[in-house]
Amino acid sequence: FQITSFGTIANVLVFLAAQRMSSMSSSFGIITKNQAVCNTVMCVIFLCYVCPMQLSDSQFLIQHSHILGLIAMSTYEASNLLHLLIAVNRFCAVFLPSYYEKMFSKIGTIIMIQLAWMTSIIMCSIFYEILGCYFSYDDVSWTFGFLGTSNCVQLTWYTDFALNTVLIVTTLFINLLTAFKAGKNSRMLMNAAGIKMTQRQKQREMGFIKQTFFQGISVFAGQFTYYLIAPLLKNLVLLFLVASLWAFMHAFEGFVMLYFHPEVQPRFLY
């Protein structure tokens, strides 16, 4: 409850701060704000639905939990696609600067975001509703889980674990490649001008690398623990924590953004 509460607040703060900043009216800012919305939706689902379910154990809510599960999975898939879109945005800004404005115009960015949401909703609706592999609340593990039939286990291994693992690893690779290239370009320009890199510039460069690495590893950890560790656990509390880690990572993303980007921190945090 506390994790999702603080996560909701952190992601809302990121969104509101980005909304106020003129620099966040760019394509990167638009995608970042949508990412904050995804994180907030995930936190709200766990805060307003999963937490009350753990206390009430309402059979009516459990029977219809696949609807919330569909929303949660669609949001999760959209979040991963938006992470990839942010990575591609940075990549183009560094490697293809002359094409950046054409590729990531404001209208083009909005269309790509809409495609990410539509793809996620359609894909999840087909796999987890039409084909019947419901992602619903499990009163044993106190969190969401897929239907445990052999067909659904095989389907979700590819449509969820394999697909999202590829997205996460690809996003991490692109971000790290962009970070090293941007750092190299910056040092070459400063050396050519006879200027030494300041400590603050070094910290910002290292901060971006740390943020990229932490976000990629944390999201991958959520995937890894859900499929490979959670099925081995017997303790119900540990099972809930490990099986919900994929969602809790969205709560932590708000804190990561606030920590590595002081410019989006509200004034009362100083």
Helices within 46-135 (DSSP H only):
51-56, 59-63, 65-95, 97-103, 106-125
How confident is the model over 114-162, as pLDDT tens digits? 999 999 999 999 999 999 899 888 877 778 888 888 889 889 889 888 8
Interior angle at CA 149, CA 229 and CA 161, nearest 5: 45
Q: What residues of the chain score a pLDDT lower than 50?
A: 197, 267-270
| Phi and psi angles of residue 137, each rounded to the nearest 5 degrees, phi first | -70, 135
Alpha carbon distance 77, 256 (integer Å):
20
Domains of the chain: 1-264 (1.20.1070.10)
How confident is the model over 202-216, as pLDDT tens digits? 555 566 666 666 677
What is the phi-psi region of residue 2: left when phi exceeds 0, alpha when psi lies from -120 to 50, beta otherwise? alpha
Q: Which residues face 44 on adjacent strands?
A: none
- Are residues 115 and 73 in contact, defined by beta-carbon separation less than 8 angstroms? no
Max Cα-Cα span within the chain = 70
For residue 269, the model assigns a pLDDT of 45
DSSP state string for 117-167? HHHHHHHHHIIIIIS---EEEETTTTEEEE--SHHHHHHHIIIIIIHHHHH
Alpha carbon distance 62, 68 (integer Å):
10
Alpha carbon distance 124, 203 (integer Å):
40
| Phi and psi angles of residue 146, each rounded to the nearest 5 degrees, phi first | -80, 155
For residue 3, the model assigns a pLDDT of 57
For residue 187, the model assigns a pLDDT of 58
DSSP state string for 178-232? HHHHHHHHHHHHHHHTT-PPPHHHHHHHHHHHHHHHHHHHHHHHHHHIIIIIGGG
Tokens 């590893």 sit on residue: 217
Alpha carbon distance 143, 126 (integer Å):
22
For residue 98, the model assigns a pLDDT of 87
For residue 122, the model assigns a pLDDT of 96
User: How many other β-carbons are positioned within 10 Å of the β-carbon of residue 56?
Assistant: 11
Q: Which residues face 136 on adjacent strands?
A: 145
User: Which residues lie closer than 8 Å to 28 by C-beta, 6 or more apart?
Assistant: 86, 89, 90, 93, 104
Amino acid, single-letter form, for residue 12: V
For residue 6, the model assigns a pLDDT of 55
For residue 113, the model assigns a pLDDT of 94
pTM over 0.85: no
Whose CA is closest to 159, among 133, 179, 188? 133
